[in-house]
């Protein structure tokens, strides 16, 4: 969804219809897999996003209670760490940006893409300190750039450098988790930081960080919902239930940005104004992963393989959810 209160587009209506079709019979456990039904559905989430709003609503817990399934929420600092949790068997479903699944698939993590949000290219950017002499991406040559390795901003950096006529080898990447990267940025230990919302909104409002590029025209910045292959194949009705509840809360959030910001503020630890600033750059809606979207993921995978950021070429369609 766009952050603006616009009428639903034909594409969005199709997505909702698709989800509704997928959800047929979602309230009934599949008898063939009843013995495999988990007592607890474990969901990995990050500090900001639709899962936080869904968690606060309690709607998913109410829906799954009739099936004898409880919900456990586990927070992760970023997508790569969340996928480590999925690989370790700590979670069943999670949400990450577009790049972490590529690194995870290359590392042998067994997951499937179950849905995605529309693209939100303005929700991530390359920033520099307000008094920095750096005015463009081309001026990052030889500079130290902080980023969370394998996160969605990793691809943004690669594409921004390419457009500026630089290679990845022309910079000094500093692989840091968001909290450590922020500290390094504020202390002047790095020259630039590639980061996503709400961390992006926070550093802009609290330290007057200045953008030299966002994802517009460079990347799509898609948020994905992933599940372990086991839970998606043996308990698809649980996955469908999660996606339907996400879509409901997302439609409400689109039309109630100030209320969502007020709700997220104490949970995220940022003031409501900062959260609202970030929400205005986000995307809303839950869509079935299309062939075109998978083709975009393949493009990311091919790029990272060519740069040897992952050890081998991938076929991302191996992680497609084959819905029964």
Distance separating alpha carbons of residues 18 and 175, to the nearest angstrom: 39
Residue pLDDT tens, the chain, 324 long: 333 333 334 444 333 333 333 333 333 333 334 456 679 999 999 888 889 999 989 999 999 998 999 999 999 988 889 999 999 999 999 999 999 999 999 999 999 999 999 999 999 999 999 999 999 999 999 999 999 998 889 999 999 999 999 999 999 999 999 999 999 999 999 999 999 999 999 999 999 999 999 999 999 999 999 999 999 999 999 999 999 999 999 999 999 999 999 988 998 889 999 999 999 999 899 999 999 999 999 999 999 999 899 999 999 999 999 875
Residue-level length of the chain: 324
Question: What is the predicted pLDDT for the residue at 38?
Answer: 78
Q: Give CA separation, 98 vs 10, 39, 110, 164, in Å.
A: 24, 30, 16, 22
Question: What is the predicted pLDDT for the residue at 72?
Answer: 97
- Domains by residue range for the chain, with CATH: 10-120+222-319 (3.40.190.10), 121-214 (3.40.190.10)
DSSP 168: G
Question: What is the predicted pLDDT for the residue at 6?
Answer: 35
Question: What is the predicted pLDDT for the residue at 267?
Answer: 83
The edge-to-edge listing of strands for the beta sheet with 144-147 is: 172-175, 144-147, 192-196, 124-128, 210-214
Question: Within the chain, how many helices (H) and strands (E) appear?
Answer: 13, 10
Question: What is the predicted pLDDT for the residue at 323?
Answer: 76
Helices (H), the chain: 10-22, 50-57, 59-65, 79-87, 100-106, 152-163, 178-187, 199-207, 229-234, 236-255, 257-268, 272-279, 291-306
Question: What is the predicted pLDDT for the residue at 201?
Answer: 97
CA-wise closest residue to 28 among 67, 70, 65: 67
Question: What is the predicted pLDDT for the residue at 37?
Answer: 67
Distance separating alpha carbons of residues 41 and 87, to the nearest angstrom: 15
């Amino acid at each position: 969804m766009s952050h603006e209160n616009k009428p639903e587009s034909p594409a969005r209506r199709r997505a909702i219809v698709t989800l509704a079709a997928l959800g047929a019979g979602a309230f009934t456990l599949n008898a063939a897999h009843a013995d495999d039904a988990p007592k607890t559905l474990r969901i990995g989430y990050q500090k900001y996003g639709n899962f936080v709003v869904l968690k606060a609503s309690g709607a998913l817990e109410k829906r799954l209670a009739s099936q004898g399934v409880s919900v456990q929420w586990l927070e992760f600092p970023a997508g790569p760490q969340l996928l480590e949790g999925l690989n370790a068997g700590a979670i069943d479903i999670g949400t990450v940006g577009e790049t972490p699944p590529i690194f995870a698939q290359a590392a042998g993590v067994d997951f499937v893409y179950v849905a995605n949000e529309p693209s939100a290219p303005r929700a991530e950017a390359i920033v520099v300190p307000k008094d920095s002499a750096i005015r463009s991406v081309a001026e990052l040559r030889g500079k130290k750039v902080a980023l969370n390795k394998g996160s969605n901003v990793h691809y943004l950096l690669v594409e921004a450098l390419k457009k500026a006529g630089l290679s990845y080898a022309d910079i000094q990447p500093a692989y840091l988790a968001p909290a450590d990267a922020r500290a390094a940025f504020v202390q002047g230990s790095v020259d630039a930081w590639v980061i996503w919302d709400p961390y992006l909104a926070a550093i802009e409002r609290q330290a007057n960080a200045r953008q030299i590029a966002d994802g517009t025209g460079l990347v799509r910045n898609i948020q994905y919902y992933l599940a372990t292959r086991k839970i998606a194949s043996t308990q698809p009705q649980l996955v469908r239930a999660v996606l339907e509840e996400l879509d409901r809360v997302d439609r409400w959030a689109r039309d109630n940005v100030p209320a969502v910001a007020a709700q997220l503020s104490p949970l995220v630890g940022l003031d409501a104004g900062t959260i609202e600033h970030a929400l205005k750059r986000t995307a809303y809606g839950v869509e079935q992963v299309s062939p075109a979207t998978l083709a975009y993921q393949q493009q990311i995978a091919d790029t990272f393989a060519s740069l040897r950021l992952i050890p081998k070429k991938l076929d991302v369609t191996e992680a497609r959810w084959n819905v029964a």
